[in-house]
Amino acid sequence: MPDTIVTPNPWQALRQFTAARIALGHTGVSQPTSAQLDFQLAHARARDAVHLALDTQALRTDIEAVWPGIGPCVQLHSAAANRNVYLQRPDLGRRLDDDSRAALAALRPSAPAMPPYDVAFVVADGLSSLAVAQNAAPFLQVVRARLLQEQWLVAPPAIVLQGRVAVGDEVGELLGANMVVVLIGERPGLSSPDSMGLYVTWAPRVGLTDERRNCISNVRPAGLRYDEAAGRLHYLLAEARRRGLTGVELKDETSGSVELAGEEKRNFLL
């Protein structure tokens, strides 16, 4: 009498290399009960990540703790009034509401001799508030160590509720920043409800499209680690400032100096 009624898959050994649902085995013509329950749990976590409200006060405290002196975080809101509107009207998630635009006007350097900000960091909940709640502050702590060595002029960070990637363009434009980096919760996967994406845009302004941005994806401890992501971001920021551009004309060429997990070296963005 066998210990289990599950028929193992001959590829089961490969599961140690991936969180993907491969080689689950079967019971008759069906999935094993444990695999089916795991799937339902992952799906529930993904749905929770989409609808979980971002605790902005906690995030603000975390960011200001890991980056002393960056200035108080400014809390903003997109033109999407609530989560339901945000999910149904992507266009509203790309623009700020009136109160947020007024709040940013006070932060823009006004003295003629004061240079514009080199970079503005924008944290938006996107489709997973869980992702930015867990990853934004510790990632910025690693980035801070790199930028401080080069005396970058960094704008006070902004936290945007119900925000999509393009909302960073309006934030950067109103702040008069040369560049904007948007940290945003990515669409949850069934094994990754906590993935954070980074989007870098030179000369941000309302109306830009995605070919003007560079993206670094899957930033989290179980994905692209903070130090690796910070290295790639630092490279893109430095090259964007030197060449005055981002997007399709700026390639990530850090593959020769950054090791990815598992000792394999490859270009993440290609």
Q: Which residues are annotated as a binding site for adenosylcob(III)alamin?
A: 165, 186, 215
Tokens found for residue 68: 């002393």
Single out the residue of 212, 192, 211 nearest to residue 202, CA to CA: 212
- Token pair 């869980």 in the structure block, residue: 130
Taking CA 15 as the corner, what is the angle to CA 9 and CA 16, rounded to the nearest 5 degrees?
Answer: 140
Dump strand ranges (E) for the chain: 74-77, 119-124, 158-161, 179-185, 196-202, 213-219
Listed in sequence order, the residues at least 6 apart from 93 whose beta carbon sits closer than 8 Å to its beta carbon are 78, 79, 80, 86, 162, 163, 164, 167
Side-chain-side CA neighbours of 215 within 13 Å: the count stands at: 15
Q: Which residues are annotated as a binding site?
A: 165, 186, 215
Handedness of CA 211, 140, 252, 46 (dihedral sign): negative
Residue 171 near residue 76, CB atoms below 8 Å: yes
Count CB-CB contacts under 10 A for residue 165. Answer: 20
* SS3 call for 119: strand
Dump strand ranges (E) for 82-225: 119-124, 158-161, 179-185, 196-202, 213-219
